[in-house]
């Protein structure tokens, strides 16, 4: 069973990496009103299981459509058509159907860039002393002195 100090060091590394991904995702996300960018967060509710999640809060319900695409580019792979009218009103006039929006995988790009920028190595390097201290403490506490 890992020591509490070792777990704390692991959590700190995860938090540093998670913060780097959030920062990069905000840089990578498209910006119109800023709501999508502001809604990118890190969920640390499961940090005790050494897990963090990076995602978008419900304040930007359209985030999935931006990230995954819509219409022929989305999960259904079909054009967008009107449900009740004969045509859709678009900024370019009325259309019987539209292709939809191509996916903008800003979260995936952010994670990939963080991995490629050696952020993990940097976070580990910054926590090197913390890990070393935790290991030394664990070794010392496992030694049994005979009297």
Kindly state the average pLDDT of the residues 122-143: 81
Buried b (16+ CB within 10 A) or exposed e, 24-40: bbbebbeeeeeebbebb
pTM of the model: 0.79
| Residues 19-46, mean pLDDT to the nearest whole number | 94
- As a whole number, the mean pLDDT across the chain is 88
What pLDDT band is residue 94 in, cutting at 50, 70 and 90?
A: very high
Domain boundaries of the chain, sorted by first residue:
4-67+104-142, 70-102
How large is the average pLDDT for residues 37-46?
Answer: 94
**Can you tell me the mean pLDDT for 101-120?**
91
The string of pLDDT tens digits covering residues 67-86 is 999 999 988 899 999 999 99
Q: Give, in order, the Cα–Cα distances in Å from 19 to each of 10, 14, 31, 36, 103.
A: 14, 8, 20, 17, 24
């Amino acid at each position: 069973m890992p020591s509490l100090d070792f777990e704390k060091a692991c959590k700190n590394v995860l938090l540093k990496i998670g913060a780097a991904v959030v920062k990069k995702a905000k840089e990578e996300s498209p910006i119109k009103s800023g709501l999508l960018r502001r809604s990118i967060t890190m969920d640390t509710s499961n940090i005790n299981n050494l897990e963090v999640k990076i995602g978008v809060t419900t304040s930007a319900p359209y985030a999935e459509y931006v990230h995954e695409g819509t219409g022929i580019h989305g999960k259904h792979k079909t054009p967008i058509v009107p449900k009740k009218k004969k045509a859709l009103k678009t900024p370019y006039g009325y259309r019987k159907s539209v292709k939809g929006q191509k996916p903008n995988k800003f979260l995936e790009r952010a994670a990939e860039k963080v991995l490629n920028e050696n952020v993990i190595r940097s976070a580990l390097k910054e926590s090197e002393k913390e890990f070393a201290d935790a290991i030394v403490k664990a070794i010392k506490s496992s030694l049994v002195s005979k009297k």
